[in-house]
Structure 1
Amino acid sequence: MMKIAGIVKGTCPNCKKGAIFETKGNIFLLRMPKMNERCGVCNLKFEKETGFFFGAMFVSYALAVAEMVASLVIFWMFIDLAPLTVFMIIAGIAILTSTFNFRVSRAIWIYLFN
């Protein structure tokens, strides 16, 4: 349970105190989250090697698909909205959760390999 809280908060997997991300990002201002190179507390290097976060893209994809499928089930099956309306809602949700997915997928990837 501590790992899940650490992933969502974006704390260092080693010391659980330092921040992985310098900024959280903002989709409305078109800013992606900025990542720290090292933990400010324990000096753990987050990017182990060049291309380390390539696998985090697959984690981000899985998160986005899960969000889209959940939205599809909720808005089409339970609320019974028109398909075009559901498509627009799902596209909006995908855009709004992109920075969150970016941060969480990288945090999951760091926690997996530490």
Structure 2
Amino acid sequence: MNTIINILKGTCPNCEEGSIFKTKGNIFLLRMPKMNERCKTCNHKFEKETGFFFGAMFVSYAIAVAEMIASLVLFWMVMDLSPLLVFLIIAAIAFVTSTFNFRLSRTIWIYLFN
């Protein structure tokens, strides 16, 4: 359970104190999150090799698909909204959660290979 909380917080997998990201990013200001190269507390290097975060794209894709399916079930099957409105809602949710998914997928990827 502690690992899940640390992943959601974005803390270092080595010392569990330092932050992986410098900034959280803001999709409305078109700013992506910025990562630290190393943990400020324990000097742990986050990017093991060039292209290390390529696999995090697959994690991000899985998270986005899960959010979209949950939204589809909620808005179309439970609330019985029109398909066009459901599509627009899902597109808006995907846009708004993109920076969160970016941070979460990279953090999960770092924790998988620590």
Q: Calculate the TM-score normalised by the size of structure 2.
A: 1.00
Give matches, 1:1-80, under 5 Å: 1-80=1-80
1:59 & 1:69 partners in 2: Cα distance?
Answer: 15
2:6 & 2:50 partners in 1: Cα distance?
Answer: 24
Give the 3-state SS of the residue equivalent to 2:92 in structure 1: helix
Tell me how far 1:15 sits from its aligned partner.
0.2
Structure 2: unaligned runs, 5 residues or longer:
none
* Count of aligned positions: 114
Give the 3-state SS of the residue equivalent to 1:22 in structure 2: strand
Q: Calculate the TM-score normalised by the size of structure 1.
A: 1.00
Which residue is equivalent to 2:102? 102
Tell me how far 1:94 sits from its aligned partner.
0.1
Which residue is equivalent to 1:81? 81
| 1:93 matched to 2:93 | yes
Per-residue CA deviation, residues 58-79 of structure 1 (Å, 9 max, x unaligned), is 0000000000000000000000
* Aligned partner letter, 1:90: I
Give the 3-state SS of the residue equivalent to 1:43 in structure 2: coil
2:19 & 2:71 partners in 1: Cα distance?
Answer: 31
Structure 1 moving runs of 4+ over 4 Å: none
State the identity %: 78
* Aligned partner letter, 1:61: Y
Tell me how far 1:48 sits from its aligned partner.
0.1
Q: Aligned Cα RMSD in Å?
A: 0.2
1:61 & 1:105 partners in 2: Cα distance?
Answer: 9
Tell me how far 1:46 sits from its aligned partner.
0.1
Tell me how far 1:51 sits from its aligned partner.
0.2
* Aligned partner letter, 2:29: L
